[in-house]
Copies of this chain bind each other. A is one copy, B any other.
Amino acid sequence: MSQATPEPLNIGLFGGGTVGGGVYEICEESNKDFLAGIGADVKISKICVRDTSKARDFSIGAHTTVVSDYKAILEDDSINCVVELMGGVTNAKDVVFEAIKRGKHVVTANKALLAQYLPEIQELLKQHPEVHFAYEAAVCGGIPIINVLQNDFFGDKISKICGIMNGTTNFMLSKMESEGADYDDVLKEAQALGYAEADPTADVEGLDVQAKIALLAKLAFGATVPVDTVPCQGISQLSSADFEFARMMRSTIKLLGTAMLNADGSKLSVFVSPVVVPLTSPIAGARGAGNIVVVNSRNVDTTSYSGPGAGRFPTANSVVSDIVRIARGMATPPFPYDKDWTFETDFTGEFYTRITCKDALGIIKRVGELAEENGVSIHAILQNPIEDRDNVDFVVTTEPCRLSQVESFCSSIAKERWAKNKPLCMSLL
């Protein structure tokens, strides 16, 4: 009968920054003895960084050499495991591909690399079945969602996976919810606190989530999602008015990555967008920089997984879990299964549209006509007392319809002379 065979790991670590430093500290300091005690024989013998002379915020043991030449690790036959924590999709790609080709196990936290080169990585791994490949930290840093999707749904059939996968934007949206703040102000605050980068595009336009939901769709549905084709709407158009309307609906607004089957299970929709979430949903409860993933499935119904999505030690912890599983001979196949899917971007749902207009006679009647012309049934109309007749916001929520229908409804509204712009449109959860 099969028993796991432990394999002592001699690690070459690429990256000694936020996450790399945390991994080194855990493996070589805080949990060194514990890991040895549970049979995980793990040693980091080399760290590759850009600048070997830079001071590090963690102390490096005498048995570890700091290098800047990739070959010092890749061509070292005594190193049997590469941990890639540099980031980016160019040098990191070379390192990861070369490591696999040389039969070294790979652990990475690099969602961008994974999302972009998934088919190539899978192909290469097929040619190197002796290589373990693990990436728990790539999605929702501290939440073990990859392990769960790799191991706990074999007997099940997932119908939907969605969640908050970006801490920066969740921090911003939580502020907008709790303080009634406006988008520009919370962005500045997030930048001042170091949550958001000087160029916040990847976060606020949802590109970071795009890569992550593509990966989760691979795990949950076996789908190889061409990342660039995932429809992606960010949060930069949201205003404090949207949070007011959400509150009237006992809801809030979250930026979600979603991958879900259509009603008959034949097509898969993957998208990133702000979503109006009822306050009773566990998703609404994830505040601050917290992340959460919710899985809907035939057997288990709904489970959810929440925790920190980033940060040195939460992320490093996931990397270490991968390392230890490999060292103990308990690694999981990285992608549980593959399946060809037809992707459906024109998914069916209920929608929220915020219409901004100059107050005029007959607007509601005209909105009703345009809805009907586009096959959209109105569920409710929400409006606050009018304060500025030149700038009136009201919200139309729809019965279930296709995204294309509500988008064409919004486009036709944009053409009305009383409309100030194209209405903002979001899904309802």
Residues of A within 8 A of B (CB): 1-7, 22, 26-27, 30-31, 34-35, 37-38, 40, 80, 103, 105, 129-132, 136, 142-144, 147-148, 151-157, 280, 282, 285, 287, 297-308, 313-314, 316-318, 320-321, 324-325, 328-333, 336-337
Contacts and interface: CB of A to CB of B under 8 A. Distances in A.
B301 A314 contact: yes
Nearest to A32: B155
B306 A282 contact: yes
Contact of A321 (B6, B152, B329): B152
A297 B104 CA distance: 31
A5 B7 contact: no
A303 B306 contact: yes
Query: Which applies to chain A's interface (DSSP): helix, strand, loop or mixed?
Result: loop
How many copies of the polypeptide does the oligomer hold?
2
Nearest first, the 4 closest Cβ-Cβ pairs linking A and B are A155-B320, A303-B307, A299-B313, A299-B317
A321 B4 CA distance: 18
Contacts of A105: 1
A43 to B, nearest CB: 14
A156 B317 contact: yes
Contacts of A153: 317, 321
A329 B34 CA distance: 25
Contact of A304 (B148, B298, B307): B307
Contacts of A303: 142-144, 305-308
Contacts of A2: 4-7, 329
A155 B300 contact: no
